[in-house]
Structure 1
Amino acid sequence: MDDLDALARQQLDDARASAHGRSARLFLHDDRLRQTVIALVAGAALDEHNAPPAASLQVLRGRVRLTGAGGGQELTAGQVTMTPRERHGLLAVEDSAVLLTAVTEIPAGARPSALAEADRR
């Protein structure tokens, strides 16, 4: 089992040493489920990208802003949210590490209950 705090620290160190100000490590990959620790130094960003079928973002350290069509959402350490289904990006407001949990494919006819409930709102 991986230690998320240690992974966050290591990825932040790697991001600070990177010319692009970011670093990521896929540490759990089980069929359609993936968990990745992503670190960004303040001001660094992940450009807009397509959303996986289902995903959540938990801030382990720092403060980030999810960007996209809805105008964005700011999150701080300890907060977790579902990622937007439309194209979105991520901007580090301060040095940050996040845990991205993503399902890369949802079999036809199956929908996670959280997504189904969000659709009803």
Structure 2
Amino acid sequence: MADETSTSGTAPSGPAGPVDLRALADEHLTKARNAAHERSAHLVLRSGPLRQSVIALLRGAALGEHESPVAASLQVLRGQVRVTAESGTELTLSQGHLGPVPAERHDLVAITDAVVVLTTVTNVS
């Protein structure tokens, strides 16, 4: 397979082969259980404007209100999370669900111990 270069002119960064999301979920839940802030995150893939991260949060842990990237989605590997948009719109996602991240300020709260894959597209200029 030829070496690919992203539109930004930088080589993709991340694993050379497949990623075992189950193993990453286990690893980061363990790290979250040992972290004062009850969460753990790992950037799995970066390619041009594309980013994919695994985020583990213990029940009740949150990523406080923050800006939304150009485009984003959440895939829940374990547990259940709630995304609340600044407008008050809520989206609850459970294991196996894939959903959009609101295109406005929002927060993310773990309803149960949870692990998600956050996929974002940033600055596509």
Q: Which residue of 1 aligns with 2:12?
A: none
Residue 5 of structure 1, aligned match among 22, 26, 29:
22
Which residue matches 1:74? 92
Alignment coverage as a number of residue pairs: 107
Partner of 2:50: 33
Q: Which amino acid aligns with 2:108?
A: L
2:69 is matched with 52
Distance 2:49 2:93 in 1: 26
Name stretches of at least 5 consecutive residues in structure 2 with no aligned partner.
1-17
- Aligned-pair CA distance for 1:106: 2.2
Please, what TM-score do these two structures have when normalized by structure 2? 0.83
The amino acid that maps onto 1:27 is V
Tell me the distance in 1 between the aligned counterparts of 2:19 and 2:53: 11
> Which structure has greater helix proportion?
1
The CA distance in 1 between the partners of 2:29 and 2:101, in whole Å, is 22
- The answer for the alignment partner of 1:112 in structure 2 is none
TM-score normalized by structure 1?
0.85
SS at 1:6 equivalent: helix
**SS of alignment partner, residue 31 of structure 2:** helix
Unaligned runs of 5+ in 1: 108-121
In structure 1, the partner of 2:124 is 106
User: Displacement of 1:71 after TM fit?
Assistant: 3.1
The ranges of structure 1 where at least 4 consecutive aligned residues each deviate by more than 3 angstroms after the TM superposition are none
Give runs of aligned pairs for residues 86-101 of structure 1, distance below 5 A.
Answer: 86-101=104-119
Residue 35 of structure 2 aligns with which residue?
18
SS at match of 2:123: coil
| Distance in 2 between residues matched to 1:77 and 1:71, nearest whole Å | 20
